[in-house]
Chains A and B, each alone.
Chain A
Amino acid sequence: MVAQAKPDYGTHHRNALLATNSTEVEISPGENMPRKTMQKMQLKRELGLFSAVNLIVGVMIGSGIFVSPASALERSGSVGLCLIIWAVCGSISLLGALAFAELGTVVPRSGAEYAYFQEAYGGLHRFWGPLPSFICCWVYVIILRPAEVAVIILTFSEYICQPFAYHINYMPAESQEILKKIIALLGLGLLTYINFISVKLYVHVQNIFTSCKLFACLVVIIGGLYELCIGNTQNLTKGFGGSTTSPKNLALAFYSGLWAFDGWSTVTSVTEEVKRPEVNIPRSIMIGVPLVTAVYFMMNVAYMTVLTIPEMIAAPAVAVIFGDRILGVMNFIIPLGVALSTFGCALSIQFSVTRLCYVAGREGHMVEVFSYIHMRRLTPAPAVVSQGLLSFIFIIIGDITSLIDFASFLIWIFYGAAMVALMLMRRTKKDVKRPYKVPLWIPLFIIFIALFLCLVPIITDPSPRYFIALLFIGIGIAVYVPLVYYRHRPQWMDKFTYFIQVLMEVVPSEQSFD
């Protein structure tokens, strides 16, 4: 089903558009391209409310809650304080997500922060205006998201191997490492293909995987409740004993808690593919984020019932130990759940970042061909392939977790900047109909949290490694100046675009035609 383009949609779009040169490429309609399809050449709205909720849950619940939920516990020092921190982090994430819901209705385009930066700051200055949005997509598209996909799919490979642990554990460590990478590449190949071939297929796969993921969470929760009911409360009854009193530890506890919730803005990065976004985006957030908060909270209660604090902190994979302790022969559920969860998570992250890639390509911030979509499949095929390739490279390179650590605090800078954009647009775009509006204190609060989260790691652990983040930005600017600001286009670029077009059967999306 093709949703109707909104009248005001195009206007806004055009206003913000950096005169793209897409039209200067004369594409000849492919040999077998019917004219009818040509007219509807845009990403279709395939995501209903259920799928949108699944997308949020899919990205938010990765492997963290199964593998390393204990850092908040380690910092907070007590069971009681830790649970409070989880609940508060969930609430903060909900507030942030609601603010994004408003942004999503004001700027009904895919790309999340990128689109909002473009809309809010783009017109302010010829050079500095578009820069934030460019840096945002640069960091996300080139480094952060493909690296995340690589790390998550490596986790997937580790857990999918568990049923064969008998064979694998007896292998020398180097072979295990190679095997892990091969399986990760297999997973990556599969998920890239899914995203390449069809949005509908993605939606189906995602719905199934998210259900499996929630089922695994449910198993943990029920297991914990059972233990509680039979009177295993000695770990929980310690309550607030041992709570930290140091502000630094408290800050770090919040820091790690909020990371576990990251991903709440995902649905706004695919706005253009959500059916009735003005209704479904706020709704999906209102359902998805509290759902994840509740799941995280209950899972923590379950873990803490069965495991002692030192056991949780020291465990390499908390849920697996939990499973071994109480699930008996059914303990394979947990590694399987983690494997499915991580695969779904990687699939969704790639899905959403290819949309950012696509929007950025359309705006001339990325290689233009990224904004082209497949004639029949209606997927942003070049963007998907490029993301697949980037993740492929990251898997091959190997140790990239530190890379993510260094760059990820930029995410909160982007969230903060998005809140500024929200307030700015309340002034500059007064007339836009806002079917959904958050009170002003919410964006202010999120800005405060954002500042807090970028400053905490720098203050508590000042180290030159944060310059790596600056280095990324520096390279971004070095790219921005000639290619985006001066619109320098190398000669071969047209040939390359043409080559990709005929190779992948892709055409510019409809909006780019006008």
Chain B
Amino acid sequence: MWVRIRCILLVVYWTSWLTMLAGAITLVLVTPKCSVADPLEWWQISPIYQVYPLSYQDSSHPPDGVGDIPGIESRLDYIKDLGVGAIWLSPIYKSPMKDSGYDIQDFRDIAPVFGTMDDFHSLSKAVHKRGIKLVLDFVPNHSSNLHEWFQKSVKREVPYADYYIWADAKGFGTEATPIPPNNWRSVFGGSAWEWNQERRQFYLHQFLKEQPDLNYRNPLVLEEMKNVMQFWLDQGVDGFRLDAVAHLFEDEDLRDEMVKDEDATDEYSQLDHKYTFNLPEVLDVLREFRIVLDKNSENATKIMMTEAYMPVEKLMAYYGNKSHPIAHFPLNFALISASQKNITAQSIYTAVSTWMNNLPKGAWPNWVIGNHDNSRAATRFGAELVDAINMIALLLPGTPVTYNGEEIGMEDADVSWEQTKDTAGINAGPKKYKQFSRDPERTPMQWDAGINAGFSNANQTWLPVNTNYKTLNVESQLNEKWSHIKVYKQLTEARKTEAIMNGGLDIHILEDSVLVYTRVREGFPGYVVVVNFAPDTVTVDITNLAHMPNESSVYTFSTTYAHSFTAKKRISNSAVVLPGKGGLVLTFVPDFPKEVISL
């Protein structure tokens, strides 16, 4: 009897063991999967570095004073060393350069001033060899008036006749002057309509008259542009920044726009652009572009960043949704907008939290502090805040986008009327050009204290080099003990950590003038960014922040700190001293209730 009981017990023991094993396996297989964030991809991890090719590096023989593609290639080690993960090139396409390359004459060719297709392939190879991605500017809204399509459209050649937006004159005034179809204005001022004598019709140009708008109500145009996109993907590019996407569509009935603000300084802002800006059809076209990119993303994601200046709530639509994603991110200009008014801890706090609060679930944020269309960050925020603003932008959740030169805190240059190249400035005339010209933020990169700041050996550069280049340049900052570029490199290095990549964000204002945010992920060192916007020294207590221990180590600090200040120093969190306009990044071991046993 006992033998049998023993037998039974043994069988019961192993049966229950196997049952539990089976149970565990079924549990794994049957349980509904809940979504966990996917591992981050290249476009999320490192900053994207905007290179303005005209002003980056001139390497032509003889030097022509204009930057070019081989020049960029010669500076790749510098770019790699900055710790950025992708380069976004402003347009390098064949162009008469009426809008510094945003007026494209041939979407599939390189501008001779920048080099050849071979130069481009060489650059692409060199970039990828360094593990960096290459993103191109894609300009879907318009072409140059010299583009073959436009030339043929003027002649009403099939199928190009409707590639652009043509409209008959409303009538003819004195001396048979044609009257534009409606009151629409160009972004650069003046009417958005230009009379073409040959076709005897007006064509629409939301930008310069040399930039006729493509007609996306014509399916052939979308098809053409998708092919252009595919062409560059086939050349090995990793994604696109889509220019001026909100302008892609206009009202079919050409209705007049209402006057919104008669006193606005620029003519464009006077109207409410209900019929020319951010029309719902825009998103459908962008979705088509996204599908092209996704089809090419088997090995690595091809990204789409879109450029559109609009309130955050409206901009979020550009992310699309989970089933129909559109942009990987619409470029976020909230920090730029904040810098155009009075800059306070509150205004930056609002800019950051508005974006984060409006962000759709699962969408990836991004932070732009400067670009080729806005004054240099050092000029807008003030030179003292350069490091602090980089700290804020680079360590927030999301991808920072850095315009070349911002890593060394380049400032707007003084460009005289005679030297002005930007059509927006020229159109405004010698009195008002400074208000509209974007040349000051487009002057050549300041590499060293040599001739033309090391940018070019030519007698004259296409735009003058900023006169401060002797003291403000890459070489001197790399040689200095502490400088903007060293802070920047420290910040890109910190982005490799779990807390910055996947940690939570907790942002506050302390003592009215201090913006502070923490990035914390359980199990990893946390980071706290503290920035004082006041001109005087402020001492703050940050121990009340979540997960904050009593002590932290200094990770990096802005150049406004005294020379004696050093990193790695341990400081007490109850009295963090910030000089006027000073920024500080601290790292700490976050406090989590934890069970520790060591056996």
Assess whether A186 is in contact with B589, with CB atoms less than 8 Å apart.
Answer: no
* A164, A190, A260: the one within 8 Å of B598 (CB): A260
* B28, B526, B595: the one within 8 Å of A179 (CB): B28
Assess whether B17 is in contact with A502, with CB atoms less than 8 Å apart.
Answer: no
Q: Which residues of B contact A190 (CB under 8 A)?
A: 17
- Interface presence of B522 (CB below 8 A): yes
- Distance between B430 CB and nearest chain A CB, rounded to angstroms: 56
- Interface presence of B300 (CB below 8 A): no
- Which one of A19-27, A97-105, A169-177 contacts B? A169-177
| A interface secondary structure, majority | helix
Bound CA–CA A193/B590 (angstroms) = 42
- Per-residue 0/1 for A157-189: is the Cβ within 8 Å of any B Cβ (1 yes, 0 no)? 000000010011111100100110011011001
Assess whether B599 is in contact with A151, with CB atoms less than 8 Å apart.
Answer: yes
- Distance between A411 CB and nearest chain B CB, rounded to angstroms: 11
- Per-residue 0/1 for B24-44: is the Cβ within 8 Å of any A Cβ (1 yes, 0 no)? 100111011111100000000
Residues in A325-384 with C-beta less than 8 Å from chain B: 345
* B24, B524, B570, B599: the one within 8 Å of A345 (CB): B599
Assess whether B599 is in contact with A314, with CB atoms less than 8 Å apart.
Answer: no
- Distance between A3 CB and nearest chain B CB, rounded to angstroms: 29
CB nearest neighbor in B for A30: B2
- Per-residue 0/1 for A472-508: is the Cβ within 8 Å of any B Cβ (1 yes, 0 no)? 0000000000000000000000000000001111000
- Interface presence of B21 (CB below 8 A): yes
* B523, B524, B525, B589: the one within 8 Å of A74 (CB): B589
- Distance between A440 CB and nearest chain B CB, rounded to angstroms: 31
Residue of A62, A151, A311 contacting most chain B CB atoms (<10 Å): A311
- Per-residue 0/1 for A305-327: is the Cβ within 8 Å of any B Cβ (1 yes, 0 no)? 00010110111100000000000
Bound CA–CA A407/B354 (angstroms) = 51
Bound CA–CA A469/B126 (angstroms) = 67
- Per-residue 0/1 for B1-18: is the Cβ within 8 Å of any A Cβ (1 yes, 0 no)? 010011001000100010
Q: Which residues of A contact B9 (CB under 8 A)?
A: 503
- Interface presence of B553 (CB below 8 A): yes
- Interface presence of B367 (CB below 8 A): no
Q: Which residues of A contact B32 (CB under 8 A)?
A: 172
- Distance between A245 CB and nearest chain B CB, rounded to angstroms: 12
Assess whether B588 is in contact with A168, with CB atoms less than 8 Å apart.
Answer: no
Assess whether B34 is in contact with A170, with CB atoms less than 8 Å apart.
Answer: yes
- Distance between A404 CB and nearest chain B CB, rounded to angstroms: 6
- Interface presence of A64 (CB below 8 A): yes
Bound CA–CA A401/B597 (angstroms) = 7
Q: Which residues of B contact A504 (CB under 8 A)?
A: 6
- Interface presence of B596 (CB below 8 A): yes
- Per-residue 0/1 for B397-413: is the Cβ within 8 Å of any A Cβ (1 yes, 0 no)? 00000000000000000
Assess whether B24 is in contact with A183, with CB atoms less than 8 Å apart.
Answer: yes
Assess whether A186 is in contact with B36, with CB atoms less than 8 Å apart.
Answer: no
Bound CA–CA A503/B3 (angstroms) = 8
- Per-residue 0/1 for B43-81: is the Cβ within 8 Å of any A Cβ (1 yes, 0 no)? 000000000000000000000000000000000000000
- Interface presence of A293 (CB below 8 A): no
The 8 closest A-B pairs by CB, nearest first: A310-B525, A170-B33, A64-B598, A316-B523, A62-B599, A182-B24, A401-B595, A175-B31
Write the residues of chain A forming the contact surface with B, with a CB cutoff of 8 angstroms. Answer: 62-64, 68-69, 71, 74, 148, 151-152, 164, 167-172, 175, 178-179, 182-183, 185-186, 189-190, 193, 242, 256, 259-260, 262, 308, 310-311, 313-316, 345, 401-402, 404-405, 502-505
Given contacts A313-B589, A405-B597, A502-B2, 12 further A-B contacts (CB under 8 A): A169-B36, A171-B33, A175-B27, A178-B27, A179-B24, A182-B27, A186-B21, A310-B587, A310-B589, A314-B523, A314-B525, A316-B522
